[in-house]
Structure 1
């Protein structure tokens, strides 16, 4: 790509970031993909014309780092700290750049030198990215930050970056080459990642992406039992130790159930978890989504009697949910007799949930039932 002027770098940030993410996505975490992604970010930071493939030196990386340092103050002040698409793209590009770029070491030193400097559970690159992220978070007051969709995107981006770190793009120089980098760029302590994602959840507890990352992180750390205990406490109104998760509790349960269903003995775990979160003492028993999941769980297993009981419990707790009524009628159409179906439809009308029904089909079904 051609060189980019200083005035055009902010608008061009989304383009460079998008290209870098595509390079990483299609390279399946290879070192060559990291170098290609870093090249796009160096073009943005340094503003110089992109060289031929493979021509990326430490000097260019240093120029790009200085360029990002110049752009970040302006980006952080955009819209009174609320950010916009371009400024949030600049900050995300800077985070990804630091995660990918080699640490500030001499070319004669190998990647092991950079890895040995890791502190606080983070590699040097991730520590630099975390410093930029912390500056972005602390540059605006919490109320403004929590009302900004761009801050939510930025924090979700950082949570994903620290939980699924990228491979550092060690450059080919006299002293080492890219093929010797192994996994030094992947070293992030699970506890450091967990603490970082927990901090993001304090601002955005209902973020689907961040909650998904939170569940995946617990699964990788084999801490699903602790997560299950935390959200059980949330459902029971005891939020000690998990208050930041309370706002996303229904979605968090759904994500946990998805993970549990894939484990050995998952069907029994899912059943137990659903009973816990929808118990009579639970604050989540009025959540239609969880009842629909419970109903679908029994229908998928062919347990129609259980599904019937769950359906009746569900419409007692959530009588105004049209989707729940439709799920029950569709899944139990061969299990409900015409009389019960008619009674349930009467309840629907009483609750002002209106369903379109072909009365002639119901009469024919009743006649067939009586004839049988």
Structure 2
């Protein structure tokens, strides 16, 4: 009797368990079917093609622009300013008198010295004639000659003093700023202004560490002024000289390069970035820098492998070795090959095996969309 009751109870439990199991399996199958009714998760990215480029390893150093001709004008002698013949920032000509100090005393002394020299010349000539006729002694002739030489030397010294008080431009160029006025007294060795020659080129001096190879004359460099992007000036410089020694303080060698500067956009003492080649050119691979992703395992990109069934691509992670990154381009040594299709903007959203739809860069720029692919995501949203 007890066995029968227990059998009925066990059978009832089995029936209830089977019913619950059937209900749950049916519910799971319905959920799976519902999930399968949605399309597979995918992402949209830009696509880029791996290209081969000729790459020259370079370093960036700081350089300083140097004027080919520059002069800090100073007066050698003290005196009162009699004339100021140039304005601040004015263009000047070679030989132009810029500043004239008062030479009235020297001019008067020069006139007296010229008179004495003229008299000494006459005395010497008469003494010479008398000496030939033996009417004068050799001692008298020597005294007359010495007086003449003294008078001439005194005259030349005064002329030199007047010249030193007359400050002239030694070359064609441009004057700097000044604030001098007529009547102002200048002590000797007073700084007047800075003169810069009017040349169609300028120099740039820069240092390269000694462990890089030496730069040969004629090596071309790229220079860029330091500042905001919209105000930067780029140009090409050509190495023409190097210092004879390596500086012991920083173990660097100083080079000088010539930069065309016909429009005078570059000025002396301007700091610039100098792009210096440090090795031979080699063929490497180039991709957009946004394609490079990084995690604890290193740097990688996503290769886009065609998926014909879904009319798209599958993301395939590839480890790469990056040589350099510059100007939104990355140069790599290994990991992919030329012609491979990789993800560019939007690559950070991908993972291995993900379904990917892409659009070329020119299509995104022009707004042309493909009917077989979903709309591309804008750059800002990537």
Q: Common fold, TM-score beyond 0.5?
A: no
Structure with bigger strand share is: 2
Structure with bigger helix share is: 1
TM-score category by the smaller chain? under 0.3
**Higher relative contact order (CA closer than 8 Å, sequence separation 6+):** 2
